[in-house]
Amino acid sequence: MAYSQYVLVCAGTACESCRSAEIVRRLQAGVRARGLEGSVQVVRTGCFGFCAQGPVVKVLPGDHFYAQVKPEDAEEIVEEHLAKGRPVQRLLYRAPGRAAGAAAELPFYQKQFRIVLRNCGVIDPENIREYIAREGYAGLERALFEMTPDDVIEELRKSGLRGRGGAGYPTWKKWVFSKEAPANPKYIICNADEGDPGAYMDRSTLEGDPHSILEAMAIAGRTVGAQQGYIYIRAEYPLAIRRLEIAIRQAREAGLLGRDILGSGFDFDVELRLGAGAFVCGEETALIASIEGRRGMPVPRPPYPAVRGLWGKPTVINNVETLANIPVILLKGGDWFGSIGTPTSKGTKVFALTGKVNNSGLIEVPMGTTLREIIFDIGGGIKGGRRFKAAQTGGPSGGVIPEAYLDTPIDYESLAELGSIMGSGGLIVMDEDDCIVDVNKFYLEFTVDESCGKCAPCRIGGRTMYNLLTKITEGRGSVADIEQLHAVAHAMQKASLCGLGQTAPNPVLSSLRHFGEEYRIHIKDRRCPSGRCKALVTYSILPDKCIGCTLCARRCPVNCISGERRKAHVIDATRCIKCGECYEACKFGAVLRA
Amino acid sequence: MSKVKIEINGIEFETDAGATILQAAQQVGIRVPRLCYHPDLPAWAACGICVVKVAGAGKMLRACATPVEDGMKIVTHDPEIVHVRKSVLELILSTHPNDCLRCPRNGNCELQRLAADFGIRQVRYESRVAHLPEDDSTKAVVLHPEKCVKCGRCAIVCQQMQNVWALEFVGRGEGTRLAPTGDIKLAESPCIRCGQCSAHCPVGAIYEHDETDRVWRALQNPDLHCVVQIAPSVRVAIGEAFGYEPGTVLTGKTYAALRRLGFKAVFDTNFGADLTIMEEASEFVQRFVHGRGPLPLITSCCPAWTDYMEKYAPDFIENFSTAKSPHAMLAAMAKTYYAEKMGIDPAKIYMVSIMPCTAKKFEIIRSREMFDGERPYVNVSLTTRELARMVKECGIDFVELPDEEADTILGYYTGAGTIFGATGGVMEAALRTAHYLITKRELEDVNFLPVRGLEGVKDAALTIAGREIRVAAAHSMNNIETVLDRVRASRRSGGEPAYHFIEVMACRGGCVGGGGQPYGADDEVRRRRASGIYQDDAMSTKRCSHQNPYIQKLYAEYLGAPLSPRAHALLHTHYRRRPLYAR
């Protein structure tokens, strides 16, 4: 029996934390109360991506897009929209300056192209039949019955798919190395140890479409000759873990995992391995150590895991996003996939768009899309009409990209030329209120904290760089500090053992390159242009502008502003904690931040 | 082994496939600087000092861990590489106390040497030394984490060579430390005090618990009669501290040095070893010929091994020889037999053992049999390193010393006693005497070569009086489980024991590679020290313990016979299960 209306409710981590589960319950109760169970289906889906507007509810047909829905709105949606066919106007999302429209027409979605996220926000991730209905496991079927392992590798080669975990190594090559390695058994590992601050591409994919990963791992197993797969996922992703567990169980029951898959004679099973959340465990040799029960510390490569990996056996390690592409490549062909993107970087890329951008969320765009399109068309521009300053890609291993390069088509090579990296897909937008030195201190703090401590350059160099930045943001910097930053960064890049340490200096180096002047102002003028570095900022009140409204004095948390009503006020700089409350509060521009 | 052709710094040559860049470079006279690398251990690749450039590789690679490939073009030294190494070295120094003058490793520290080689005159980076407390809880090896460079050698030695797992990386980032897991003291961990961590530490972060002060005080106490003994392997290693090649036999000079330090009598642990053989070989004969006690018999003279067994393999307690170790036997004889003979109050005899070993510091207090009432038989056990320092401190020109003799009645030894210092030696010595005890005939050729050498587990068999004796000698604790598992398997099957006699030494190479020996031991050094030991054996006029006239005299005058009640009371001990973690 077909339903006439479908209500899709985002059940990703972000929307769930905004009570989307309760929305579902109340929608279902409303549907039952009105006897609509036969015609309306309420579906808990994966992430829609438009996280800034969550919880999101979509109604089909009509593609009506409800944003920021609250549980108490559920009855109205049922009563008005589902029962009477009158969409609830007050809840429909409207892009600035536009009327409410179909979801697909929203500026946020128009320039997106979804391969990886094809099922997120569309199907119920806890129901294997919905995945199968969307051609799920058809790629595996092809790999089992229509293609040889070499055919699969050839399709991958033609697709030009490169690893989405950061380094961009051609996926087909990894598979070939493992396939041709003589040792047995072999293993497939899905690297779901997503750890960049602000990045949640993999989590959403696993939450919204877990079967796509299982299918891809089985295809990989078939291709290289492995019978066991592991998904290494951080324990902080409980929802993704739960959905994966459900998916594995359903796939086993359906004969899509386990012994003799679909009667092909091929055995393949998948188990989860939970990580404790160390960033370094995303590095493949550290990840392997962690699965083996040892402390997660990298070891030198070669030998590469593809040849000698888990328990010394050939192991393919692919990241979640890489794997999610594979079933589609097998169905639509490598040529089709290769037609998307730029000459060197094929397909799409998922980004977690965050920071000072209006439409923060999870997006997927073809390679070659420009940052301007992402930030201004999809992202809806900078919050509060502030001025764009820089975009940070590649998280703590990446770099900042200034305004001058907003029109660069994004791919692996162009980002590397700008001193950043594609990374796993974190994209953080900064505006004029962000201090570049301060932001880099944040990234270094992260890598310093996440360094495993094994190799000296990373363990010591990171902290040394961090302390140099601290000096600079506290007004104790000298020109020699910049030389030291370069020297330590060079040693870290060249002599660190793994990618974490080798790339940890990238944010600083790229910002020195693009925003060197801002460092110089911090050091020579002892000034922070954006006013972020408290030690370099003083607040004072301009007597000719102050009308004595007392608002600042009332806001001041330490009571260091004094003055009579209608007379100019004064800030006691010795007691001021530089919180900026007065600056924000003053309606007359009388508070000077310098 | 197949060969590959490579080029290093423009020199083209052939090398073994599978060699690392570091090893290959050594062949053409290029020493790539390194800090964390140690030839005993798999490359850990932590320090970042040995980075080199390989044509085609985007980044610098670690010479210690990168295998050569055919056609590889390598540059080990250019201005950029040296600059990177120097920066890394400066970073390491910026977190090191750099108080070399007060450091136990002053003069033989690998970090100090690197800093000298690189001509470090300043450290550009801010100094950040983590002030962490010392851990001297074992009273055998001291952890001094403040000096640690996190090279990881100690943990790898402890886990992979010794299979003890007392040390592990703890914490992360700059807070990373090498310590027992769970923030417990080393003495509460499974540590067996073998001291291999201290022997492999490149800096002053792990060292022997220094007791030279106690010995100096005793030597200056006019009421005490200070006596001393030196272990078999000390004589072939101590010279390294004075410029001799490893393996130079320096027994006579060591005796002379000890007399100049003020010891009233100088004994030799080799005599104790002869005595141990009398007891242990008799024990073996009891078990093997007369069926009194389980087989295999397992040697117990290595205190780190007994500690390991009590913690990790208590199912072998019954198999252990109850004979005390040689220095413990000798000490018991010094405070009874010697005291009686010389008319000295045993309470005034102060016994110092010079051992290649840190575990001996624990052994001397490990059970009540090590005490005569309240007084320990051995008062202090020093390592070879500590003795070398005392000799230097005292201004003794070791090289110019005359050869002297040990004091009888506890100083004369046979070749069987001296080979205790090398892996397989106890076994060989015991078999020489066991053969005599069983057959009442002397061996024509006392050399038993199958148990010599650095092979991890040496299996051998021989026939005495028509019966086959299967023996094994294992050294380095990671090899012992193999042997024990074979015995366990034969126990389960209820058949013939896999072995009749097993010798185990905790340290690689046996005592010549002991945790208290001079720094810088690798397999080459161990081999040379062992060859000194076997040379000492070969030069001996008597080569079997039972032929030692002073041993015969001791039994005749004092002990009666091996395994007599008096021998049991003074020369034997017992073992008990100990928990891996003390809390």
Q: What is the ipTM of this complex?
A: 0.92
In the 8-state DSSP scheme, what is residue B499? -
User: Which residue from A300, A273, A298 is spatially nearest to A284, judged by alpha carbons?
Assistant: A298
Our CA-based measurement puts residue A105 at a distance from the nearest CA of chain B, in whole angstroms, of 45
Query: If interface means Cβ-Cβ distance under 8 Å, which residues of chain A face chain B?
Result: 278, 295, 297, 299-300, 302, 448-457, 459-464, 467, 484, 487-488, 490-491, 493-497, 502
Span A195-220, average pLDDT: 95
Cα A508 to Cα A504: distance, rounded to the nearest angstrom: 8
In 10 A of CB B157, how many CB atoms?
Answer: 28
Please tell me the class of the A348-431 domain: alpha beta
The CATH class for the domain spanning A128-335 reads alpha beta
Across the interface, which of B62, B84, B91 has its CB nearest the CB of A460? B91
Nearest-neighbour CA in chain B from A235: distance (Å): 19
Mean pLDDT of B129-146: 95
Q: Is the pLDDT of residue A171 over 70?
A: yes
- Strands B457-464 and B467-475, bridge-based pairing: antiparallel
Given this model, what pLDDT does residue A1 score? 53
Residue type, A393: T
CA-nearest of B334, B227, B278, B259 to B549 is B278
pLDDT digits (tens, 9 = 90+) for B234-245: 999 999 999 999
- CB-CB neighbors (< 8 A) of B87 in chain A: 487-488, 490-491, 495
Architecture of domain A436-525 in this structure = Up-down Bundle (1.20)
- Where would I find the beta strands (DSSP E) of B416-466? 457-464
Could you tell me the pLDDT band of residue A95, with boundaries at 50, 70 and 90?
confident
Q: Which residues of A touch B179 (CB under 8 A)?
A: none
**B34: enclosing H helix or E strand:** none
Contact B67 A302 (CB under 8 A): yes
Distance from chain centroid for Cα A554? 40
Per residue in A491-513, pLDDT (tens digit) is: 999 999 999 999 999 999 999 99
Q: What is the pLDDT of residues A178-189, one digit of tens each?
A: 999 999 999 999
B3-77 CATH fold: Ubiquitin-like (UB roll) (3.10.20)
Q: Whole-prediction pTM value?
A: 0.93
Q: Measure in Å the smallest separation between the Cα of A213 and chain B Cα atoms.
A: 32
Overall fold of domain A5-105: Glutaredoxin (3.40.30)
Q: Which of A453, A457, A491 sits opposite B173 (nearest CB)?
A: A453
Chain A interface disruption, residue of B20, B172, B178, most A CBs within 10 A: B172
pLDDT in the model for residue A103 = 85
Which CATH code for domain B213-571? 3.40.50.1780
- DSSP SS3 for B538: helix
Q: What does the pLDDT look like over B489-503, one tens digit per residue? A: 999 998 888 999 999
> What is the DSSP secondary structure assignment for residue B324, as one 8-state letter?
P
Nearest residue on chain B to A493, judged by CA atoms?
B59
> What does DSSP assign to residue A499?
H
Which pLDDT value is given to residue B495?
83
Looking at beta carbons, which residues of chain A come within 8 Å of B88?
456-457, 461, 491, 495
With a cut of 70, say whether residue A403 has pLDDT above it. Answer: yes
Q: Could you report the per-residue pLDDT of B423-451, keeping only the tens digit for each? A: 999 999 999 999 999 999 999 999 999 99
Stretch B463-477: mean pLDDT: 95
Check residue A195 and give its pLDDT: 87
Numbered ranges of CATH 3.40.30.10 in chain A = 5-105
Quote the percentage of chain B above a pLDDT of 90. Answer: 97
In chain A, residues under CATH classification 1.20.1440.230 are: 436-525
Averaged pLDDT, A392-411: 93
| H or E element at residue A399 | strand A399-402
Ramachandran angles phi, psi of A347, nearest 5°: 85, -150
H-only helix segments in A103-196? 107-110, 128-133, 138-145, 149-159, 171-180
Contact across the interface for A453 and B175, Cβ inside 8 Å: yes
**Residues in chain B within 8 Å Cβ distance of A487:** 87, 124
Q: How far is CA B308 from CA A175, A581, B15, B383, in A?
A: 45, 65, 40, 20
* Domain spans, chain B: 3-77, 93-208, 213-571
CA distance A307 to A173: 12
Question: CB–CB of A451 and B48 under 8 A?
Answer: no
Contact indicator for A64, A141 with CB cutoff of 8 Å: no
Which chain B residues contact residue A484 at CB under 8 A?
A: 124-125
* pLDDT > 60? residue A31: yes
Question: If you average pLDDT over every residue of chain B, what do you get?
Answer: 96
Domain B3-77 and domain B213-571 have a common topology? no
Rounded CA separation A14/B253 (Å): 78
Beta-carbon contacts of residue A20 (< 8 Å; ≥ 6 apart): A9, A10, A11, A44, A54, A55, A69
Q: Indicate the fold that domain A538-593 takes in CATH.
A: Alpha-Beta Plaits (3.30.70)
Architecture of domain B93-208: 2-Layer Sandwich (3.30)
Which of B230, B478, B195 lies closest to B357, judged by CA?
Answer: B195
Residue pairs spanning A and B at CB distance below 8 A: 114
